[in-house]
Amino acid sequence: MSVQINDLELLDAVCDFALLHPHPAVQKFRDSVQNWGDDWISIEPAYLPAADFLVEAIANTDQQTRELVETFEQHKNRLHWEQSYKKEDDVVPDSMLEGYAFAEIIGKRGPFISDRIRAGIGIWGPGILYPRHQHQAEEIYIVVAGAAEFKIGAAEEAWLGVGDVVYVESNSPHGFRTTDQSLVVYYLWQAGDLRQTSSFG
């Protein structure tokens, strides 16, 4: 198996973003990120339309997040864009399936294989509701471009934008909705099945 220099650029971008992040909640994931593993596989590129939001999202970044979003934008045609839900599952609105995607860099399915940490970015276009859902793994969302209204656990709904960090406890319901801007989040999962399908309701 071979790994390309471009893949290492993405791996470094994803690891450095977490390891250099000052937020205490992100630091809880530090050990898992630093010791993600040592194996990788090649992944077939897969396109989804949400990847196209990355170009305009760069204008909605800040100094801390621009480089990460630009790195993903530069490599977007080589990435494996995917979705966790299918139309027939009937758990998320059709508008979400039309306008969202994620690209994983570290996780159970690679390209950098880990059973400790899941890391990548997710993109949601404007006007999307991601209904409240939960999973066993604890999670970090860092808004790296755009904004959305988040509802996390028992907390009030909150409008979050670039640089904001959300920590989601294990099995805590969470969801969000975008309005006029697309949203790009950097995500981390640990301490649970890293490919568990979320439950809703």
Binding positions for Fe ion, rule: CB under 5 A: 139
| Torsional class of 144: left (φ above 0), alpha (ψ -120 to 50), beta (otherwise) | alpha
Angle at 199 between CA 105 and CA 123, to 5 degrees: 40
Instruction: Report the residue closest to Fe ion, judged by CB.
Output: 139
Nearer to Fe ion among residue 104 and residue 139 (C-beta): 139
Nearer to Fe ion among residue 7 and residue 139 (C-beta): 139
- What is the closest distance, in whole angstroms, from the C-beta atom of residue 194 to Fe ion in the complex? 12
Nearer to Fe ion among residue 73 and residue 139 (C-beta): 139
- What is the closest distance, in whole angstroms, from the C-beta atom of residue 168 to Fe ion in the complex? 6
137, 192 Cβ separation under 8 angstroms? yes
- What is the closest distance, in whole angstroms, from the C-beta atom of residue 18 to Fe ion in the complex? 16
Give the CA distances from residue 23 to residues 20, 142, 163, 167, in Å, rounded to whole numbers and listed in that order. 9, 10, 10, 10
- What is the closest distance, in whole angstroms, from the C-beta atom of residue 152 to Fe ion in the complex? 10
Nearer to Fe ion among residue 77 and residue 170 (C-beta): 170
